Amino acid sequence: MLKKKILLGVTGSIAAYKTAELIRLLRKNNFFVQVVMTKSAKQFVTPLTLQALSGNPVLENMWDPSEGNGMEHINLSRTSDLILIAPASGNFIAKLANGLADDLLANLCLARSCPLLVAPAMNIEMYNNKATQRNIETIKKDGILISGPDSGEQACGEVGLGRLINFESMMLDVRKVISHQIFLNKKILISSGATLEKIDEARAITNLSSGLMGLNLAKEAYAMGADVTVISGHSNYEFPPCIRTIKAIDHDAMYQSIISNIEKNDIYISAAAISDYKPLYTPGKIKKKNENISLELKKTKDILSYVSKHFGHKFIVGFAAESENLIENARDKLISKNLDIVVANTIKDSMGKPKAKMVIIDENENTPLPEAEKEVQSRIILEHIFKFFSKAKTYDSIN
């Protein structure tokens, strides 16, 4: 990915101290960061700190004759890929809503030709104030994008909406703004993780799926512009708050959640490892009376087959984890379940692991993917889905 330039605006919010970590994350993700501070922001964090972390001089005074040609509010806005205001105080949001330009950062926002992403951070009462809500609605109508805020304990001790959004979600919003949004206005439903079936009140059986593939698919789809809903079983990972998540721990809950939500979506990706069998439940706790114990297992409903039969007008993607005859078994799944695409992998090389070696199988061909991190694999899988879903004759990979 080409190095993108982000102009990071820091305003007078107590959350300004978090900007140091944000700059570190942005640079780690290969962004060039130019910081612009308001006068109030300097009361919470020093320019020297942000300069050291960003590797660039911090700009703050548009009247400084030593800074360029005196037209920094034009120059910077023309060379940036994104202006990110984080944190954005109630006062600065009011400036944006009313087109005020009384400092360098406000001038940059008014003179910009690039996207503007705003991350509000303020006290709950300030955020809920009618004036603030009116200003937020105004800037949304003007095409300014909003990231957050989160809900939780605030610096003042109160609890509620107004905290600066967590950086994982903010980074996804940044990627969404600067990426090619191939799934814009499309809705994607993803099932993820393992199902867990109770044996008794204390015990259960499950499988070795970690949920990492589903997590990465959801994050990448969100960054590509999709409205994402995840139905998550048992998982080693938490989904970021910006992604709508429904918990469905066992097979029956997974089935009900998928059936209830699929009609509202354009694409369904079945990445969950759903139980093929479940034990007959025993109330209470089975006592250790015998040396050996036998469990009776009952076959569960094949959710993917049911979905393809009753919702065949949707674009449906299946996953096939196999121990042998990978291509043959995966292609059989593609045909027998009438799927659009199957992503195949060997269990020993992928289940529960951070990397995977996969093959994308469609009606025309098999596309092997070299071993790579699941984040990378999920991006390639989604590009392949787009290629078939859009029925486009020409297709360019995303940079």
Looking at the fold, whether 170 and 259 belong to one and the same domain comes out as no
Q: Is 331 helix (H, G, I), strand (E, B) or coil?
A: helix
Residue 395 is assigned to a structural domain of this protein: no
What average pLDDT does this structure show over 336-344?
92
Looking at the fold, whether 124 and 20 belong to one and the same domain comes out as yes
Helices and strands of the chain, counted as H and E runs:
14, 19
Per-residue model confidence as pLDDT tens digits over 256-266? 999 999 999 99
Give the CATH number, domain containing residue 316: 3.40.50.10300
- pTM here? 0.86
Q: Which H or E element spans position 198? A: strand 197-198
Residue 397 is assigned to a structural domain of this protein: no
Per-residue model confidence as pLDDT tens digits over 102-154? 899 999 999 888 999 999 999 888 999 999 999 999 999 999 999 989 776 66
| Amino acid 287: pLDDT | 85
| Amino acid 348: pLDDT | 75
Q: Which H or E element spans position 17? A: none
Average predicted confidence (pLDDT) for the chain: 88
Looking at the fold, whether 73 and 212 belong to one and the same domain comes out as no
Encoded tokens for 149: 């805020």
Cβ-based burial of 74 (10 A; exposed 0-12, middle 13-18, buried ≥19): middle
φ, ψ of residue 99 to 5 degrees: the values are 70, 25
Looking at the fold, whether 154 and 201 belong to one and the same domain comes out as no
Residue-range definition of the domain harbouring residue 334: 187-389
Angle at 220 between CA 219 and CA 223, to 5 degrees: 90
Give the residue numbers annotated as catalytic, written as ranges: 156
Looking at the fold, whether 105 and 40 belong to one and the same domain comes out as yes
Residue 399 is assigned to a structural domain of this protein: no
pLDDT tier at 214, thresholds 50, 70, 90: very high
pLDDT tier at 345, thresholds 50, 70, 90: confident
Looking at the fold, whether 193 and 287 belong to one and the same domain comes out as yes
The better pLDDT of the pair 77, 168 is held by 168
Residue 216 CA to residue 211 CA, distance in Å, equals 9
Angle at 164 between CA 160 and CA 169, to 5 degrees: 110
Is residue 377 a contact partner of residue 365, using CB atoms and an 8 Å limit?
no
Residue 254: name the closest of 302, 318, 310, 314 by CA.
302
Looking at the fold, whether 214 and 157 belong to one and the same domain comes out as no
| Amino acid 347: pLDDT | 80
Looking at the fold, whether 172 and 280 belong to one and the same domain comes out as no
**Total structural domains within the chain:** 2
Is residue 222 a contact partner of residue 172, using CB atoms and an 8 Å limit?
yes
Query: What distance, in Å, lies between the first and last C-alpha atoms of the chain?
Result: 5
